Amino acid sequence: MKKWLLVGFISFMMVLAACGGGDDGGSSDGGNADGGDSANETAQGEELYQQNCVSCHGEDLGGGAGPDLTTAGDNYDQSEVVSIILEGQGGMPAQDVSDSEAEAIAEFVLSQ
Number of domains in the chain: 1
Q: Cα-flanking dihedrals φ and ψ of residue 89, to 5°? A: -160, 140
Q: Is residue 47 part of a domain?
A: yes
The answer as to whether 31 is a domain residue is no
Cα–Cα distances (Å) from 46 to 2, 4, 14, in that order, read 38, 34, 19
Domain annotation covers residue 3? no
pLDDT (average), residues 45-53 = 93
Tell me whether residue 2 is in a domain. no
pLDDT at residue 16 greater than cutoff 70: no
User: Does some domain include residue 23?
Assistant: no
Determine, yes or no, domain membership for 46.
yes
Confidence of residue 9 (pLDDT cuts 50, 70, 90): low
pTM: 0.65
Q: Supply the range of the domain harboring residue 105.
A: 38-112
Residue 22 lies in a domain: no
Q: What percent of the chain has pLDDT over 70?
A: 68
* Alpha carbon distance 102, 61 (integer Å): 16
> Which conformational region is residue 21 in: left (phi greater than 0), alpha (psi within -120 to 50 degrees), or beta?
left
> Is 80 exceeded by the pLDDT of residue 13?
no
Q: Which residues contact 46 (CB under 8 A, 6 or more apart)?
A: 108
- pLDDT value of residue 40: 78
d(CA 100, CA 106): 10
**Tell me, what CATH number does 97's domain have?**
1.10.760.10
Q: Is residue 45 part of a domain?
A: yes
Give the confidence band of 7 by pLDDT, cuts at 50, 70, 90: low
Confidence at 41, pLDDT banded by 50, 70, 90: confident
What is the rounded distance in angstroms from the CA atom of residue 21 to the CA atom of residue 71?
A: 31
